[in-house]
């Protein structure tokens, strides 16, 4: 049996997509931050990766696993700019570069929604330290989800901003790999894992936060209400529009038609 090596991200929002895969005989599974997961896929160190969607436009041509994504239709809660100023007065943004998709989304929104051209500064994901160096801070994942309110600091949800701009869902990540890396039984197994995981938000939240009831409640609601795990026609339209806007903003060299297994 050929075992398919999977690279996933350790964030809460990815857990439903990897539900049970650690015990699946046809897969080996490892966890990294999104940017590292993408790098491993580009290097050929893994067969398939749960990659930031922008990474599909970089490196060799890949295929996307159909009907699976980490997406939102409006408020996402875990991808946000925290700002000390009105967004239209922001002149510098500190960026958590763990996910290059979110960085590209910031570039698109700055150009098309906020009408600003700020300086970007790469920083570790600590909102307080980032705001000490810049007017605003982009953070993602669990840090953004659980960040406590700070006096004089506004949280701008980028999923909501994208939806207000386009009326379409935003696709943050999906499974992708080189052509031929997956057979149809692998695709079905990944879809089955999603079906089982998406139906268990409370179980997953309890597993991630067994000793923190307040975080557990927030996490379960987030998995149930904010994150969507399908890649349907609307998600594909949102993805292709994001690729076009990202190319126009200079975040990538060019857009590319999406292809599936």
pLDDT in tens, 134-167: 999 999 988 999 999 999 999 999 999 999 999 9
Does residue 259 belong to any structural domain of this protein? no
**Whole-number Å distance between alpha carbons of 222 and 149:** 17
CATH number at residue 217: 3.40.190.10
For residue 192, tell me if it sits in a domain.
Answer: yes
Do both 16 and 56 map to the same domain?
Answer: yes
Q: Would residue 230 count as lying in a domain?
A: yes
On whether both 184 and 162 belong to a single domain, the answer is: no
Domain end call among 166, 196, 219: 166
Checking if the pLDDT of 6 tops 90, the result is yes
245-260 mean pLDDT: 94
- Domain contains 258: no
Same domain as 143, residue 35: no
Please check whether residues 156 and 177 belong to one and the same domain.
no
User: Does the pTM exceed 0.85?
Assistant: yes
What pLDDT score was predicted for residue 97?
A: 78
Whether 152 and 125 map to the same domain: the answer is: yes
Are both 118 and 226 inside the same structural domain?
Answer: no
Please give the pLDDT value at position 4.
Answer: 97
Residues 113 and 135 in one domain: yes
Residue 255 lies in a domain: no
Total residue count of the chain as it appears in this document: 261
Q: What is the predicted pLDDT for the residue at 148?
A: 93
Q: Could you tell me if 174 and 232 lie in one domain?
A: yes
| Domain stops at, among 166, 199, 226 | 166
Cα gap 207→218, rounded to integer Å: 13
Q: Same structural domain for residues 219 and 149?
A: no
Final residue belonging to a domain, choices 166, 181, 215: 166
Considering the domain architecture, whether residues 95 and 160 belong to the same structural domain is answered as yes
| pLDDT, average across residues 58-81 | 96
Residue 1's pLDDT band, with cuts at 50, 70 and 90, is low
- Full residue range of the structural domain in which residue 94 is found: 79-166
Query: Do 12 and 51 fall into the same domain?
Result: yes
Same domain, 9 and 57: yes
Q: What pLDDT does residue 232 have?
A: 97
Conformational region of residue 137, where left means phi above 0, alpha means psi within -120 to 50, and beta covers everything else: beta
Per the domain annotation, does 194 fall within a domain? yes
Segment 83-90 shows an average pLDDT of 98
* DSSP code string of the chain: -PPEEEEEE-SGGGGGGGTTGGG-TTEEEEEE-HHHHHHHHHHTSSSEEEEEGGGGGSSS--EEPTT--EEESS--SSEEEEESS-GGG--EEEE-TT-HHHHHHHHHHIIIII----EEEE--S-HHHHHHHSSEEEEEHHHHHHPPP-TT-EEEEHHHHHHHHHSS-EEEEEEEE-TTS--HHHHHHHHHHHHHHHT-HHHHHHHH-TT-HHHHHHHHHIIIII-B----HHHHHHHHHHHHHHHHTTSSS------B-
Section 229-239 average pLDDT: 98
Total structural domains within the chain: 2
Residue 138 has a pLDDT of: 98
Judge whether 59 lies within some domain: yes
Is 11 within the bounds of a domain? yes
């Amino acid at each position: 049996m050929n075992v398919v090596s999977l690279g996933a991200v350790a964030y809460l929002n990815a857990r439903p997509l990897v539900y049970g895969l650690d015990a699946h005989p046809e897969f080996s599974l490892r966890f990294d931050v999104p940017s590292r997961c993408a790098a491993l896929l580009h290097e050929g160190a893994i067969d398939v990766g749960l990659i930031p969607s922008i990474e599909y436009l970089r490196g060799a041509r890949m295929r996307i696993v159909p009907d699976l994504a980490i997406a939102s239709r409006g408020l996402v809660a875990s991808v946000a700019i925290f700002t000390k100023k009105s967004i239209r007065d922001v002149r510098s943004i500190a960026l958590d570069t763990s996910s290059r998709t979110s960085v590209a989304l910031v570039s698109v929104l700055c150009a098309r929604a906020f009408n600003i051209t700020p300086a970007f500064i790469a920083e570790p994901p600590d909102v307080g330290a980032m705001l000490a160096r810049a007017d605003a801070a982009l953070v993602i994942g669990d840090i953004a989800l659980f960040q406590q309110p700070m006096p004089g600091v506004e949280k701008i949800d980028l999923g909501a901003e994208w939806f207000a701009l386009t009326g379409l869902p935003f696709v943050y990540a999906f499974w992708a790999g080189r052509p031929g890396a997956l057979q149809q039984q692998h695709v079905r197994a990944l879809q089955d894992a999603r079906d089982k995981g998406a139906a268990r938000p409370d179980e997953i939240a309890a597993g991630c936060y067994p000793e923190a009831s307040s975080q557990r409640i927030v996490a379960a609601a987030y998995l149930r209400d904010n994150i969507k795990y399908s890649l349907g026609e609307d998600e594909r339209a949102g993805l292709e529009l994001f690729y076009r806007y990202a190319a126009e903003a200079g975040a990538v060299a060019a857009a590319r038609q999406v292809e599936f297994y």
